[in-house]
Amino acid sequence: MSDLLVFVIVMMTLVAALSALILPNFLAATAATTVVSLGVAVMFVLLQAPDVAMTEAVVGVGLSALILALGLKRLGLWQLDLKADKEDAD
Amino acid sequence: MALPDAASMMLAAAVGLVVIGFAGLMMSRHLYRLLLSLVIAEAGANLLLVMAGYRADAIAPIFTADASMPIGMVDPIPQAMVLTAIVIGVGVQALALAMIIRIRNHYGTLDMMELKARMQDEFAQLGQSATLPSKQEQTDAQ
Amino acid sequence: MLNDQVVVLIAVPLLLAFFLPVMARRCKLTNVIAPAVLIAMIAVAVSFLFAFEKPFIVELGGFAAPLGIIFYIDQLSLWMLLLIPVMTLLLWPWQSLYQGSDRGRELALYMIMVAACSGLAMSGDLFNLYVFYELLAVASFGLVISSDKGMAYLAGYRYLLISAMGSVMALLGIAIIYFLTGTLTLAHLASLPDQLSNPPAAMAFVLILLGFGVKAEMFPVNAWVPEVYQATKTRVAALLAGLVSKLAVIIILKVVTLVMPAAQMYSLLLMLGLAGLIIGELSALRANTLIQTLSWSSIGQLGLVFIAFSVDSQVGLMAGIALMLHHLLVKPALFLIVENWSGSISGLTGFAKKSPLASILFVLFALSLLGVPPFPGFWAKYLLLNGLLEADGGLYQFAVFAVLAMTVVEAIYLFRIITTLYDMDAAVSKPVVATAWTNRLSILILATGLLAAVWQISPLADALAGVAAQMQDTSAIIQLVAGKQGALQ
Amino acid sequence: MLQFFPLLFSAGLLFLLTIVTGLLPFAQAPMLAGQGVLYDGIASTGAANLVTAVVLGYRGIDTLMELTILFAAAAAGSLAFSRVRRSAGLIAEPPYILDKAIGFLLPLLLVTGFYVILHGHLTPGGGFQGGVLLASAIFLPVLSRSSAQLNHEVISLIEGLAGVTFIVIGLLALYQQGAFLQPLFDHGVFGSLLSAGSLPVLYLAVGLKVGAELAGLLSTLAAEGGEDGTA
């Protein structure tokens, strides 16, 4: 596996994870979590685990994102504008 | 700039994800953000588990026309375990979201500190009031 | 072979659980079928208890030890296999908020919990333990929210977060152990002490301990206990405190005795146990409702169990098992008795006049919990002190004082409750709610069990010594597993 | 505001995990058990994909328990909303594109789902991945048409039957071969679709159960439950 590729993916994953905790907009934070799943899925491919990668891609990027998005709708946190959510206190 | 080798970078990714997730679990106050932190921490643990079965220069444990010998394949057991762990994780996540929605509907807020304080108030009220739980349950149910 | 049939204790409740939601919509028989299955399970468990004296293993799927999953079943597992359906039946939700297929779902969660507990009692594979533990966790979240109150959802969510955090920790620990050894069978790990005597393995062990400690109400990860027990239905609290916590203790016991029998690990267990004991009992002193008192005292009692298991000797194991089984019997009974005694403790003044039988039973169980001589609780604490005095090391001497001091604290709050109940001069301030006859029956059965234990204390002690001896003889387990492996190759 | 103690804990955890993972033997897995699976996998299960051999053969009970976890989560989730007044669907007006695309997407997802499930013993993929695809296929109409409601009775029937199939195959093995969940039937021609004995059947059960379970969970989250009466 090429080192540069790994470096880029690891960085992408970690930055996405951090931003999932920091971004004030919940839709963006959810999207960042999906990016984490995507990065991890790519790492699974590099680790010779195609089955796990496929599951992580289908579950983490697809299903989990769908579940979280439905949750966002139900919680009333689905906002496309970048205005900070009032209820977010951290 | 010389990059560290791929192995230590991936280990760092796994450790980083777990630590970021745990930090989020302890520092966030928002119920939804806590759930996101949990998802991140789980991803990190899964990554570490897959790495436990990795071998240098090995191929995926699937027999094909090109790979018909078991020599030089990675360990399939951790992969099967992670498969299980991912599905467990998504089940727990969906249940957690259902609980968050009910909490929001009941209390009208998603801030953990406020909710905790209100729960303590309710407990304190239980300690003072002379009402009986069976009656209270009935009123709650309506 | 007969020993392979033991898996029906997992398969049958699951089979029923999958069908309950469909079945409950169509007919009303579900209220009968599920308890009937539990009774059948009790019969099967009893027959196993009589059929097997020596430990045996079951290879699931017919795959030998390091490749496949094995169940390792000794006397303690068989006892637990019997106690799981018994306790579930005694705490069965005869009344429910739900109807139709939702009622079926609620009962299905109970059956799943039974299957998960049975699996934990038997499993001898690290990852399989994790999976059963997660199953138990999800089922217990479902049970906690089944009271359908706002605070139950909140307490349940906080419980879910702590529990899931623990699961991540346990998974990390399992990953580290797999890195080092490449196997998951506990008995196989026990034969590889060289790979496991290094810092990463110690870290892995701490992670696993904290991870599985969540349900065992272990010290740093037990913040959920008082919240959940107050917020949910009392009988669910009884089930979690009585039964579920014991299975989590058994996981920890399996990991400590087989994977990590190192001195530092035993002292870590001792310190966590001491912290749990002291914090639990002191908080129970400050509690102002009975449920609160009982939940804090449950943390304290489980602290005692951990202290007992931290003594690396047969007496220690025996004391731990005795304390565990005693708590399994007494705590659910106390929760059932106080189910309708809500409100502050001072509001219960003179209650003994209105419900004399319940008050007497409360006193009976409270005295046993405290460890007053003729009751089994006394013998369990006596064994514990014996074990602690035999062990060397300053911390163990300190533990003796801590156990005695905390017994005094326990006495203070329990007698405070009892004197309030028996304050005959005061007028009873509030009406007494009659308990359902099923509740009374359960409490009476538990009381009979307690008195039978008083009466049969010496055969019971012999049996316990046998169980402890089996648990301590880890080389027998290793040989049993390795022997099967050799025969197949 | 940053809290001091959690930061300290996180820093400590980071430090410890970094040290510990640095000491781990990366890329040289000892494979005490894994080696055995690599050499014995085909002989005892007949599956070309050894991950499938582990998931359904060597560690079959883990998979059964995992299905049960999903079942328990779905049951608990629907208990959470069972006593709440039901409201209309989530999306009032279906987007035009989604409405039109559904006729084309639905069969595609179904076919792909079943393909992934049935080839699980040969290529990467299997019951979970295929099951998720099935779940999205079942859920799609709910998302696009507010009037469409999932038939919960059918869903619980499917999940019940799939779970029962898995256990009954396990019990059959117990009484025929002597061990719970032991692989059954002839292994067949290695590498062909109808090979690996009972494994494809088990994976089909897994796929259907995962699909039904997740579709139920999704529709629980999406459609049911209006506002609670506030406290």
- Interchain CB distance below 8 Å, B3 and A7: yes
For the beta carbon of residue C189, count every other beta carbon within 10 angstroms. Answer: 25
| pLDDT of C1 | 61
CB contacts under 8 A, C 183-242 vs D, are: 183-185, 188, 195, 198-200, 203-204
**Which two three-digit tokens encode residue C430?**
């509030």
| pLDDT of C357 | 84
Q: Nearest-CA residue of chain B relative to C289?
A: B127
Per-residue exposure over C161-186, b if at least 16 CB sit within 10 Å of its own CB, e if not = bbbbbbbbbbbbbbbbbbbbbbbbbb
Please tell me the distance in Å from D98's CA to the nearest CA on chain B: 24
Contacts of D37 in chain A (CB under 8 A): none
- The reply to whether D113 falls in a domain is yes
- C21 has a chain D CB within 8 A of its CB: yes
**Which two three-digit tokens encode residue C439?**
């509740």
Q: What is the pLDDT along chain C (489 residues), one digit of tens a residue?
A: 677 788 888 989 999 988 888 887 777 777 788 889 999 999 999 998 888 888 888 888 778 778 888 898 988 999 999 999 999 999 888 877 777 778 888 899 999 999 999 999 999 899 999 999 999 999 999 999 988 888 899 999 999 999 999 999 999 999 999 988 888 888 888 888 888 888 888 889 999 999 999 998 888 888 889 889 988 888 899 999 989 999 999 999 988 888 877 888 888 899 999 999 999 999 998 888 888 899 999 999 999 999 999 988 888 889 999 999 999 999 999 998 888 777 777 777 777 777 888 888 888 899 998 888 888 888 889 889 888 888 877 888 888 999 999 999 999 999 888 888 887 776 666 666 667 788 888 888 888 888 888 888 888 888 888 888 888 888 888 888 877 654 443
- Interchain CB distance below 8 Å, D58 and C67: yes
Chains A and C: 3 or more CB pairs within 8 Å of each other: no
Chain C: touching chains (3 or more CB pairs < 8 Å)? B, D
Q: Is the pLDDT of residue A39 over 90?
A: yes
Measure the CA–CA gap between C339 and C42, rounded to whole angstroms.
Answer: 26
% of chain A beyond a pLDDT of 70: 86
Q: Nearest-CA residue of chain A relative to B45?
A: A40
Please tell me the distance in Å from B42's CA to the nearest CA on chain A: 10
Distance of CA C403 to the CA centre of its chain: 20
- Interchain CB distance below 8 Å, B90 and A7: no
Q: Please name the member of C153, C340, C429 whose beta carbon is closest to the beta carbon of B130.
A: C429
Q: Between the CA atoms of B82, B84, B85 and B91, what dihedral angle is there, to the nearest 10 degrees?
A: 150
Range of the domain at D166: 47-81+89-222
Q: Nearest-CA residue of chain C relative to D32?
A: C182
What pTM was estimated for this model as a whole? Answer: 0.92
Tens digits of residue pLDDT in B12-56 = 899 999 999 999 998 888 899 999 999 999 999 999 999 888 877
- Interchain CB distance below 8 Å, C25 and D153: yes
Q: Torsion-angle region of residue B17: left (phi > 0), alpha (psi -120 to 50) or beta?
A: alpha
Measure the CA–CA gap between D127 and D121, rounded to whole angstroms.
Answer: 10
* A-D C-beta contacts closer than 8 Å: 44
Domain total of chain D: 1
Name the phi and psi angles at A49, rounded to 5: -125, 70
Question: What is the ipTM, given to two decimal places?
Answer: 0.91
Measure the CA–CA gap between D132 and A54, rounded to whole angstroms.
Answer: 11
- Interchain CB distance below 8 Å, C176 and D24: yes
Model confidence at D152, pLDDT cuts 50, 70, 90, reads confident
- Type of residue numbered C157: Y
Q: Between the CA atoms of D37, C173, B100 and A15, what dihedral angle is there, to the nearest 10 degrees?
A: -90
Contacts of D218 in chain A (CB under 8 A): 66-67, 70
Measure the CA–CA gap between C336 and B121, rounded to whole angstroms.
Answer: 25
- Interchain CB distance below 8 Å, D29 and B53: yes
* A-B C-beta contacts closer than 8 Å: 148
Name the phi and psi angles at C355, rounded to 5: -125, 80
**Which two three-digit tokens encode residue C339?**
């189910």
Of C93-97, C326-330, D90-94, D165-169, least confident by mean pLDDT is D90-94
Of B8-22, B35-49, B103-117, D163-177, least confident by mean pLDDT is D163-177
Q: Which residues contact B136 (CB under 8 A, 6 or more apart)?
A: none
Please tell me the distance in Å from B134's CA to the nearest CA on chain A: 31
- Interchain CB distance below 8 Å, A55 and D221: no
H-run or E-run covering C328: helix C314-337
| pLDDT of D230 | 33
Contacts of D10 in chain B (CB under 8 A): 19, 22-23, 26
CB contacts under 8 A, B 94-123 vs D, are: 94-95, 97-99, 101-102, 105-108
Helix, coil or strand: residue D31: coil
- Interchain CB distance below 8 Å, D230 and B108: yes
Measure the CA–CA gap between C273 and C216, rounded to whole angstroms.
Answer: 11
Contacts of B54 in chain A (CB under 8 A): 47-48
What's the average model confidence in pLDDT over D191-205?
A: 74
Q: Where are the domains of chain A?
A: 3-75
- Interchain CB distance below 8 Å, C148 and B103: no
- The reply to whether D20 falls in a domain is no
- C106 has a chain D CB within 8 A of its CB: yes
Contacts of D38 in chain C (CB under 8 A): none
- The reply to whether D229 falls in a domain is no
Measure the CA–CA gap between C382 and C322, rounded to whole angstroms.
Answer: 10
Q: Between the CA atoms of C134, C138, C139 and C143, what dihedral angle is there, to the nearest 10 degrees?
A: 140
- Type of residue numbered D219: S
CA-wise closest residue to B88 among C20, C130, A35, C255: C130
Q: Nearest-CA residue of chain D relative to C126?
A: D62
Contacts of B100 in chain A (CB under 8 A): 71, 75
Contacts of B123 in chain C (CB under 8 A): 151, 227, 230-231, 289, 292
| pLDDT of A87 | 46
Q: Is the pLDDT of residue A88 over 60?
A: no
- Interchain CB distance below 8 Å, B74 and A46: no
Are D150 and D99 spatial neighbours (Cβ–Cβ below 8 Å)?
A: no
Contacts of B119 in chain D (CB under 8 A): none
Q: Per-residue DSSP letters for chain B?
A: -PPPPHHHHHHHHHHHHHHHHHHHHHH--BHHHHHHHHHHHHHHHHHHHHHTT-BTT-B-SB--SS--SSTTB--HHHHHHHHHHHHHHHHHHHHHHHHHHHHHHHHS--BHHHHHHHHHHHHHHHHH----HHHHHHHHH-
- Interchain CB distance below 8 Å, B36 and A21: yes
Q: Please name the member of A51, A58, A74 whose beta carbon is closest to the beta carbon of D221.
A: A74
Measure the CA–CA gap between B38 and B28, rounded to whole angstroms.
Answer: 11
Instruction: Report the top-level CATH class of B10-55+75-119.
Output: mainly alpha
| pLDDT of A86 | 47
Model confidence at A81, pLDDT cuts 50, 70, 90, reads low
Chain A: touching chains (3 or more CB pairs < 8 Å)? B, D
Q: Is the pLDDT of residue A79 over 90?
A: no
- Interchain CB distance below 8 Å, D180 and C146: no
Model confidence at D187, pLDDT cuts 50, 70, 90, reads low
| pLDDT of C43 | 92
Are D197 and D212 spatial neighbours (Cβ–Cβ below 8 Å)?
A: no
Q: Please name the member of D33, D57, D82 whose beta carbon is closest to the beta carbon of C102.
A: D82
Q: Please name the member of D29, D61, D80 whose beta carbon is closest to the beta carbon of C60.
A: D61
Are B58 and A48 spatial neighbours (Cβ–Cβ below 8 Å)?
A: yes
Of C177-186, C378-387, D2-11, D61-70, least confident by mean pLDDT is D2-11
